Amino acid sequence: MNAEIITIGDEILIGQIVDTNSQFIGQQLNKIGVSVYQVTSIQDDKQHILNALKEAQERVDIVILTGGLGPTKDDITKKTIATYFKDDEVVEYPEVIAHIKALFKKINHPFKEIQKTQAQLPSKATLLMNTFGTAPGMWFFENETVFVSLPGVPYEMKGLIVNEVLPRIQKQYQLPYIFHKTIMTYGAGESTIAETLEHFEDNLPSYIKLAYLPSFGKVRLRLSAKGTDRELLEKELTSKVDEVYKLIPEFITGLDDDNSLEKRVGELLTKNKKTLATAESLTGGKIAATLVAVPGSSSYYKGSIVAYSEEAKINLLDVSAEIIKEHSVVSKQVALAMAKGLKNKLKTDFAVAVTGNAGPTQDKTDKSVGVVFIAFVSDNEKFVREFDFGQPREKVINRTVSKALEILQKEIL
């Protein structure tokens, strides 16, 4: 089964927000064996919505719309959907009014007349009740196609996808299995790997696909298998991963089933019962945010100090003012002092500190833009590595984050 995700809202098209809804829906559909054929972001405009529905219906079996279900005038999705289904009508659903009144009572919010528009939905809709908000989702099955319309607020949409939409799709269709395995590599460019894997790739069976995902010094290789025979797919995928391991052993850093170095760091720390803290300058908390995004991180991750200023380095990490004066904030010495100070303060098993110049200007240092120092300290070991991540700023910051995580993973192993 193929799906298309249609996200409605001018705010996506003018770049006011980034569309994370379609990413979540794509992941969830994949897990139950539905392939996403296309994601289409369109305007809050009747004709545009009608065109998109028609085109999607020609392309796929399942059409999922998000956005455009609020009570205000720029939200025209409901009426447009009614028009699309052979001039269906919008009718008032009393159960939705009861739901909104109950929700509002809980937060002491008066119920107003305009709220009734939230309960006016196409008569052909199967309602999907929204635990976290007022606008219900809708499910339609018309002309052998599933249409689902969901509110655009991310946590409302997520609740509806997981609790209502996925079980209904699984009930409606006999679904194949889709599996992905992602192999992480480091130290070789996309082209070098591709050259070595050319013969392997040419001989892949039709139900297995290989994709290259280069980013910031790493290349991830994704093998995807799709079919109805679960055992065969899993066996074949495992054997293809083994083949890749044999072909480029020197570049592989591990398997990465959900694309996350930080998760592996977390697993290693949990397994070895070790703790970690980080101190960041140029990355401004991005290493912390990456580590904390892993559920359960509070058991091994003890905290982070974002020491943006000299004062913070001195007062929070006990870096001496003399070292900064002598070597500048971007230096081997300061990176090491930050890591030592951090470990000492937080009594963790491991501490990582980064300082560098992300640019665009040189600031208070003699080091050129792109130069970064990463320090690692454990009970038995301490070292600092120097890198030149070039330009632009975004690249320097991102490479620092992934390099720090890589160093951590290696050292904990």
Q: Which of residues 77-106 bind a copy of itself (CB under 8 A)?
A: none
19 contributes a contact to a copy of itself by CB under 8 A: yes
212 contributes a contact to a copy of itself by CB under 8 A: yes
Amino acid at 250: E
167 versus 214: smaller Cβ distance to a copy of itself: 214
302 contributes a contact to a copy of itself by CB under 8 A: yes
Rounded to 5 degrees, what are φ and ψ at 407? -60, -45
- Name 21's Cβ contacts closer than 8 Å, sequence gap at least 6: 5, 7, 66, 67, 152, 154, 157
Which one among 213, 255, 321, 413 touches a copy of itself, defined by CB under 8 A? 213
For residue 71, whether the previous peptide bond is cis, meaning omega lies within 30 degrees of 0, is no
Which one among 50, 90, 175, 306 touches a copy of itself, defined by CB under 8 A? 306
User: Rounded CA gap, 413 and 411, in Å?
Assistant: 5
User: Rounded CA gap, 158 and 101, in Å?
Assistant: 22
177-186 and 252-255 strand pairing = antiparallel
User: Rounded CA gap, 85 and 108, in Å?
Assistant: 38
**Shortest reach from residue 183's CB to a copy of itself, in Å:** 13
**Shortest reach from residue 87's CB to a copy of itself, in Å:** 25
Q: Looking only at residues 309 through 348 of this chain, which bind a copy of itself when binding is defined by CB under 8 A?
A: 309, 311-312, 315-316, 345-347
**Shortest reach from residue 85's CB to a copy of itself, in Å:** 23
Residue 166 corresponds to which tokens in the numbers above? Answer: 């996925």
**Shortest reach from residue 319's CB to a copy of itself, in Å:** 12
Beta carbons of 78 and 136 less than 8 angstroms apart:
no
244 contributes a contact to a copy of itself by CB under 8 A: no
Segment contacting a copy of itself by CB under 8 A, of 82-90, 112-120, 139-147, 404-412 = 112-120
Q: Looking only at residues 255 through 274 of this chain, which bind a copy of itself when binding is defined by CB under 8 A?
A: 259
Q: Looking only at residues 155 through 184 of this chain, which bind a copy of itself when binding is defined by CB under 8 A?
A: 155, 158-159, 180, 182
Which one among 252, 288, 337, 369 touches a copy of itself, defined by CB under 8 A? 288
Amino acid at 369: V
* Cα angle value 310/280/408 (rounded, 5°): 145
172 by DSSP, 3-state: which?
helix
**Shortest reach from residue 276's CB to a copy of itself, in Å:** 11
DSSP strands (E only) in 67-119:
90-92
User: Rounded CA gap, 352 and 37, in Å?
Assistant: 42
114 contributes a contact to a copy of itself by CB under 8 A: yes
Which one among 76, 247, 285, 407 touches a copy of itself, defined by CB under 8 A? 285
Of residues 25, 47, 44, the one with CA closest to residue 36: 25
Binding mask 352-381 for a copy of itself (x = CB under 8 A): ------------------------------
Instruction: Give me the sign of the Cα torsion angle 71, 72, 77, 82.
Output: positive
Which one among 123, 170, 368, 391 touches a copy of itself, defined by CB under 8 A? 391
> How many of the chain's residues bind a copy of itself (CB under 8 A)?
101
Beta carbons of 187 and 214 less than 8 angstroms apart:
no
**Shortest reach from residue 334's CB to a copy of itself, in Å:** 15
Segment contacting a copy of itself by CB under 8 A, of 84-92, 152-160, 164-172, 379-387 = 152-160
26 contributes a contact to a copy of itself by CB under 8 A: yes
